[in-house]
Amino acid sequence: MNYPAELNYSKSHEWVKMDGDTAVIGISDFAQNALGDVVFVNLPQEGDSVSVGEAFGDVESVKTVSDLICPVSGVVCAVNADLLDAPEKLNSDPYGTWLIQVKELSEQEELISANEYEALCRVEG
Partner 1 sequence: MKLIFEKSVPGRGCSLLPPCDVETVYPSEYMNRKTAPALPEISETEISRHYTELCRHTYGVNCGFYPLGSCTMKYNPRIDEEIAALPGFAGVHPLAPAHAAEGCREVLDTAKAYLCEIAGMDDMTFQPAAGAHGEFTGVLLIKQYHASRGDTKRNKIIVPDSAHGTNPATAAMCGFEVVNIASAPDGCVDLEALKAVLNEETAGLMLTNPNTVGLFDENILEITRLVHEAGGLCYYDGANLNAIMGVVRPGDMGFDCIHMNLHKTFATPHGGGGPGAGAVGCKAFLADFLPKSALMDGGERIQVRSFAGNFLVVVRALAYLMTLGREGIPEAAQNAVLNANYLMRRIQGTFEPAFDRICMHEFVLDLSEFKKRTGVSALEVAKSLIDYGMHPPTMYFPLIVHEALMLEPTETESRAALDRAAEGFCKLYALADEDPNFMRSAPHSAQIARPDEVRAARNPILRWREA
Nearer to partner 1, 58 or 116 (CB): 58
Q: Which of residues 25-54 bind partner 1 (CB under 8 A)?
A: 34, 37, 39-40
Q: Kindly state whether residue 65 participates in binding partner 1, applying the rule CB under 8 A.
A: yes
Nearer to partner 1, 22 or 42 (CB): 42
Q: Burial-class residue 9 by CB neighbours within 10 Å (0-12, 13-18, 19+).
A: buried
Q: Please calculate the CA angle 7-61-78 and round it to the nearest 5 degrees.
A: 45
Interacting residue with partner 1 among 5, 62, 81, 123 (CB under 8 A): 62
Nearer to partner 1, 26 or 87 (CB): 87
Q: Kindly state whether residue 87 participates in binding partner 1, applying the rule CB under 8 A.
A: yes
Rounded-to-10 torsion of CA 23, 47, 10, 105: 50
